Amino acid sequence: VDAKASVAAMAAAAAEWTRRGGPARGRLVVLATFGEETRHTSMPRALERLGAPVDAALIGEPTGLEPCVAQRGLLVLTLRWRGAQVHAGWAADLDTAPDNAILVAADQLARLEGFAMPRVHPRLGRVAFTPTRIEAGIARNVTPPVCEALLDVRTTPAHSHEEIVAALRAALPRTEVEVVSDRLRPVETPDGSRLLEAIRRVRPGCRPFASPTSSDWVFLADVDGVKLGPGDSRLSHTPDEAIALDEIDEAARLYAAIAGEYLS
């Protein structure tokens, strides 16, 4: 689903246009890139090697073949708490109880449940905060001197990444907040998009929507772009991630039709 199905469908659509002799005008290019949420992403280099400006882009991601016209950004943070390292057998009997980094983390993470940024984006809603990993402890019988958690923050244009980090630091006074990655900013399809109009013509009744997930679209933020592809994004990264072959075939036909309409 995420996102080999889109790659296969785009390759099939491009092969069909090659068989037909190419679109009426312009140039149709398929970029099969990877790792958009990691530091090893290949899209920036692929765009550089393309050597020509991009006028419009379909970003292949699982959207159920509906056009996604906005996506949240991704801000990755490390949250860190410090405590005292002492023998666990003595921890409860010392005159002054040592700070336990795990207990400090539990207190601070619980505050996230009631924490919200004030502004709401009309398409993407509120900024979302999700702890995804936590690690602490050096031995079974020692209180942990450090506890760290990764916080996945899905951002919207309503708040800058810098605003969000500052707000978290103010709301979690016993927490060190370290920015791991803030390059994946939120993206929207521009008003008056020619590409979206082409999609509407070949797929009447389509339902544009906004997505909470990030993608390579972030590297095409200044381009007329729409995220669209086969599959259900809610299955991404799950043990049962799968897609019907019929949907990939339908996606190939849709990609080919959109390319033909836009490049006519």
Task: Go through 40-56 and write b for each residue having 16 or more CB atoms within 10 A of its CB, e for each that does not.
Answer: ebbbeebbeeeeeeeeb
Decide if pLDDT at 239 tops 80: yes
Decide if pLDDT at 254 tops 90: yes
Q: Please indicate whether the domains covering 3-72+186-263 and 73-183 agree at the CATH topology level.
A: no
Using pLDDT thresholds of 50, 70 and 90, give the confidence band for residue 35. Answer: confident
The architecture that CATH gives domain 73-183 is 2-Layer Sandwich (3.30)
Q: What token pair was written down for 88? A: 């666990």
Decide if pLDDT at 39 tops 80: no
pLDDT digits (tens, 9 = 90+) for 150-172: 999 999 999 999 999 999 999 99
Task: For 3-72+186-263, give the CATH class.
Answer: alpha beta
3-state secondary structure 133-200: EEEECCCCCECCCEEEEEEEEEECCCCCHHHHHHHHHHHCCCCEEEEEEEEECCEECCCCCHHHHHHH
pLDDT digits (tens, 9 = 90+) for 186-226: 999 999 999 999 999 999 999 999 999 999 999 999 999 99
Query: What is the per-residue pLDDT for 96?
Result: 83
Query: What is the per-residue pLDDT for 94?
Result: 84
Higher-pLDDT residue of 3, 84: 84
Report domain extents, the chain. 3-72+186-263, 73-183
Q: In terms of pTM, does the model score above 0.95? A: no
